[in-house]
Amino acid sequence: MKRFIVVIGIVCMVFSTALAAESFTVYTTLEELAAKQLFDRYEEVTGIRVDWVRLSGGEAEARMEAEKMNPQASIWVGGVGLNHISAKLKGLTTPYFSRAAANTPEQYKDPEGYWIGLYLGPLAFVTNVDRARELGIEPPKGWFDILDSKYTNLVRVANPSTSGTAYNLITCMISLFGGDEDLAFLYLKKLDRSIDMYTRSGSAGGKSVAIGEIPVAIGYAHDMVKLKAEGANVIITVPEEGTGFEIASMSLIKNGPDPVNAKKLYDWILTEEAQGIIAGWYVIPVSKIAPKHPLSFSMDEIKTVHQDYVWDAENKERLLDRWTREIGAGL
């Protein structure tokens, strides 16, 4: 009898291990519907379940840092490249040279293999046409338009402490002012008068604009194009002075509990099928095998500022501390 119980115990242990091997945890900064679409398809193709947790870029980085001695996830998918560079500098991620990465141009991946770009997204304004008409305001055309007193408390943007989108706004301003941080922060202080709320994630403001809760928001263009494609009566404008842009990326988490499945997902996301799914999100894919969505912006039609992502990552903590002291202290 004892022998029978031991055998049953061993069988249960083996069965539990097999089940555990068929699922693994992923941190993602993709929008919920996009994440579900991508990971559900991966499960259909491979039979491997993805237990994904949606976090903003800042939250993902902070959680990985808190779990550094005992990582709970194996891969981080999505989120601005700046956060991925910062995670690399903190020793939170590990290099991986996937054979599928050959389709991604060199300027969109880390030369040491720590992160790889998935798509580009420029910062833009989105304006609710109906609310703007009611309030007698025009959709802003540039960064300096948005400072006008007529926009006071009528603009929404994310909090840079939790959102890579909003930190991109800070670095965009520094670049726009020729590297002069004091001028950039003077601008951000003036912009604060126009802001009614700093949201947790970069896409939240645009969603509020879509339902008319607020007339204007700052965020990434692809999130706004999606809202417009879904029927929201909005106008999207790219700042005429020049704008910053993200490189949404992917990294393997250092010492993650399931590196084998993490690499399998990493490889699959770089395939033509997965790149086709990503292109459907109105973004600008960087892979040579990815199609372009007809409604998405093209980087050729957008004036951009110069961005040094390594400098931005190395100075992130200092710049966020300054933003909190000078602007966000009362939030």
Residues listed for the chain: 331
CB atoms within 10 A of CB 278: 24
- d(CA 153, CA 211) in angstroms, rounded, equals 17
Q: Cα separations (Å) of 17 from 13, 23, 49, 265?
A: 6, 10, 14, 20
* CA-based nearest residue to 252, from 73, 103, 131, 101: 73
Query: If 0-12 CB within 10 Å is exposed, 13-18 middle and 19+ buried, where does residue 325 land?
Result: exposed
Structure tokens at 132: 């703007």
Q: What is the C-alpha to C-alpha distance for residues 86 and 80, in angstroms, rounded to an integer?
A: 10
Task: Give which of 145, 68, 80, 118 is closest to 277, Cα–Cα.
Answer: 118
User: Which amino acid belongs to residue 105?
Assistant: P
Identify whether the C-beta of residue 80 lies closer than 8 Å to the C-beta of residue 102: no
Of the candidates 315, 313, 324, the one whose C-alpha atom is nearest the C-alpha of residue 92 is 313
Q: Is 162 exposed, middle or buried (0-12, 13-18, 19+ CB in 10 A)?
A: buried
Based on C-alpha coordinates, what's the Rg of the chain? Answer: 21
Q: What is the pLDDT of residue 12?
A: 44
Report residue 314 as tokens.
Answer: 């190395």
DSSP-derived 3-state class of residue 43: helix
Name residues of the chain where pLDDT drops below 50. Answer: 1-21
Structure tokens at 45: 């193709």
Q: Which two tokens stand for residue 197?
A: 């709320």
The pLDDT value given to residue 230: 95
Cα gap 250→115, rounded to integer Å: 6
User: Pick from 300, 308, 269: which is nearest to 284 by CA?
Assistant: 300
Element holding 196 (H helix, E strand): strand 195-199
User: What number of CA atoms fall less than 13 Å from residue 89's CA on the CB side?
Assistant: 15
Chain centre distance of CA 18 = 33
